[in-house]
Amino acid sequence: MMMMMMMTMIFRILLLINLISCVSGTFVVYVTQTSYQAEENHNITLEWTFTTKPDTSSNSLYIYCELFTEHLVLFRLHDGVEVSESQDQQFSGRVQFDKDVLREGLIRLHLSRLRTEDSGLYLCEVKTDYGFSSDRCRLSVTAAVHQPESKRLTLSGPHPRSWGQIILYFLLILTLSAAVLVVKPQLCAAFSFCISSLTRKKNKY
């Protein structure tokens, strides 16, 4: 009886050790965020994490990410090398891959100048020497809201063209003022002469 109990206990311990080793060796891909929302013409970063091993090189990685709902290739990595030729034209020149964080088990894709047609379900598949897995996330891109022209006008000050007109008027006023100052003595003398002439004529009569 005692021997039977010991054998059962040993069996359970071995089973537990086996389960722990199996779980620790499981390769899994997780999306860091299941849903993304952004506005048109903005930028966004999509991220996935995957299980890593210390003795595994990134050169053995195969990564395939696509807009699953439209079957458009977003990003592809084969044997640690990015294959840009397979990228769909819709994403051409708008995807940047952060290779520095790949060793940490992180897939980080920067998608710039978002379009409304970028909306949909994104799938990322990762294959290594020790496993294969995938996960999905959803991206919703809303159209940019254009404000009416009247609301864009600011009341902080005159338009740059108005400043030019103001300066021109100011210089014109200064010029007229200077001219008046120069001509004023002559006008006063002429006015005095006219008054004197009229006075002399009046005295004669």
Q: Which of 95, 131, 137, 129 is nearest to 113 (CA)?
A: 95
Query: Looking at residue 32, what is its pLDDT?
Result: 94
Which residues lie closer than 8 Å to 56 by C-beta, 6 or more apart? Answer: 128, 129, 130
b (16+ CB within 10 A) / e for 164-198: eeeeeeeeeeeeeeeeeeeeeeeeeeeeeeeeeee
User: Could you report the per-residue pLDDT of 102-147, keeping only the tens digit for each?
Assistant: 989 999 999 999 999 999 999 999 999 889 999 999 999 999 887 6
Residue-range domain boundaries for the chain: 27-142, 160-204
Query: Looking at residue 85, what is its pLDDT?
Result: 93
Q: What is the pTM of this model?
A: 0.60
| Distance, CA of 20 to CA of 9 (rounded, Å) | 17
Residue appearing with tokens 């001219």: 179
Q: Where on the phi/psi map is residue 105: left (φ > 0), alpha (ψ -120 to 50), or beta?
A: left
**Per the structure block, which two tokens stand in for 25?**
């060796």
Pairing of β 120-128 and β 62-67: antiparallel
For residues 59 and 80, is the Cβ–Cβ distance under 8 A? yes
User: Could you report the per-residue pLDDT of 51-85, keeping only the tens digit for each?
Assistant: 988 877 778 899 999 999 999 999 999 988 999 99
Which residues lie closer than 8 Å to 132 by C-beta, 6 or more apart? Answer: 27, 125, 126
Return the CATH fold of 27-142: Immunoglobulin-like (2.60.40)
State the DSSP code for 21: H
